[in-house]
């Protein structure tokens, strides 16, 4: 009995090799007919300019988004108008999962740099996923990763020392870049120091001092927004509660 041909995601006719759509599919590849089903529901959007909203708080959740290029931040606004960054989304990660439970977005999503996104209508995605069990499993994995990032954020905020928060933030980013197939030891920060401070509950001056301290101690090297982790194992130890030497 012949087996159905398997297509690696790099061969998708819409060239999704660098797109997070591969995060919606089986890592090694899926049956060609199922790839085509998924490919047909994906919508291309025009580029999203730096500072432009992808969606706003209160807008309906008819679709989820995937960043092909560029990064985004999600921002919540309190009753008194104070804004706080509550998440960052790198190329290859889903955006808009916050609205799945309530049907409306609970935050704004803003491009940190010029970006390109794909949008996936939820109704059509549900229809395809119901027919492709492998896609259902991978969607659960992706949602689980998103929940893990939320847990990481809570842990960052629980740390009393600013240096610990910044180290945990950089460690989390490193792991996320590695998950997306990129270098986790050296990367460019798409967000500003001010955004990092808002995310970590620190003022920008404290963030800058923490970066300087970590660089002076030989833990990281910083040049503009380029960051290199020089002591990855030691950073991981510190993240898990061990002293950094």
Tens digits of residue pLDDT in 91-104: 878 898 887 777 88
Predicted confidence (pLDDT) at residue 20 exceeds the cutoff of 80? no
For residue 176, give both structure tokens. 């996320």
Predicted confidence (pLDDT) at residue 89 exceeds the cutoff of 90? yes
Predicted confidence (pLDDT) at residue 243 exceeds the cutoff of 70? no
Other CB atoms within 10 Å distance of the CB of residue 161: 9
Predicted confidence (pLDDT) at residue 226 exceeds the cutoff of 80? yes
Determine the Cα–Cα distance for residues 175 and 180; give it in Å rounded to an integer: 9
Predicted confidence (pLDDT) at residue 126 exceeds the cutoff of 70? yes
Average pLDDT over residues 230-234: 85
Average pLDDT over residues 26-32: 50
Q: Minimum mean pLDDT among 25-29, 78-82, 226-230: which range?
A: 25-29
Determine the Cα–Cα distance for residues 23 and 135; give it in Å rounded to an integer: 10
Q: Minimum mean pLDDT among 23-32, 51-60, 92-101: which range?
A: 23-32
Q: What angle do CA 124, 125, 130 make, to 5 degrees?
A: 100
Average pLDDT, the chain: 79
Residue 193 CA to its chain's centroid (Å): 18
Q: Calculate the CA dihedral of residues 175, 224, 212, 202 and round it to 10 degrees.
A: -70
Question: For 141-174, how does the pLDDT look when each residue is reduced to its tens digit (9 = 90+)?
Answer: 777 777 777 777 667 666 778 898 999 899 999 9
Determine the Cα–Cα distance for residues 229 and 106; give it in Å rounded to an integer: 34
Q: Minimum mean pLDDT among 68-77, 101-110, 119-128: which range?
A: 119-128
Instruction: Supply the pLDDT for residue 39.
Output: 66
Q: What angle do CA 161, 165, 168 make, to 5 degrees?
A: 135
Question: For 177-204, how does the pLDDT look when each residue is reduced to its tens digit (9 = 90+)?
Answer: 988 788 999 999 999 999 999 999 999 9
Instruction: Supply the pLDDT for residue 77.
Output: 87
DSSP 145: H
Instruction: Supply the pLDDT for residue 14.
Output: 43
Determine the Cα–Cα distance for residues 177 and 149; give it in Å rounded to an integer: 13
């Amino acid at each position: 009995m012949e087996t159905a041909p398997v297509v690696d995601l790099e061969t998708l006719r819409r060239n999704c090799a660098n797109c997070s759509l591969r995060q919606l599919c089986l890592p090694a590849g899926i049956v060609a007919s199922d790839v085509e089903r998924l490919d047909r529901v994906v919508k291309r959007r025009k580029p999203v300019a730096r500072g432009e909203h992808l969606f706003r708080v209160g807008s309906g959740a008819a679709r989820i988004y995937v960043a092909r290029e560029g990064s985004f931040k999600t921002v919540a606004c309190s009753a008194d108008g104070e804004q706080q960054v509550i998440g960052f989304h790198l190329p290859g990660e889903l955006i808009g999962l916050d609205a799945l439970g309530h049907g409306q977005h609970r935050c704004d999503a803003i491009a940190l740099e010029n970006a390109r996104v794909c949008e996936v209508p939820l109704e059509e995605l549900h229809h395809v996923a119901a027919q492709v069990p492998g896609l259902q499993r991978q969607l659960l994995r992706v949602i689980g990763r998103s929940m893990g990032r939320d847990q990481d954020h809570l842990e960052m905020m629980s740390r009393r020392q600013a240096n610990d928060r910044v180290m945990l933030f950089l460690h989390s980013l490193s792991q996320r870049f590695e998950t997306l197939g990129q270098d986790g030891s050296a990367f460019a920060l798409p967000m500003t120091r001010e955004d990092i401070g808002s995310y970590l509950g620190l003022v920008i001056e404290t963030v800058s001092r923490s970066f300087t301290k970590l660089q002076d101690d030989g833990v990281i090297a910083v040049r503009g927004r380029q960051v290199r982790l020089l002591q990855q194992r030691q950073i991981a130890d510190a993240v898990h509660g061990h002293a950094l030497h």
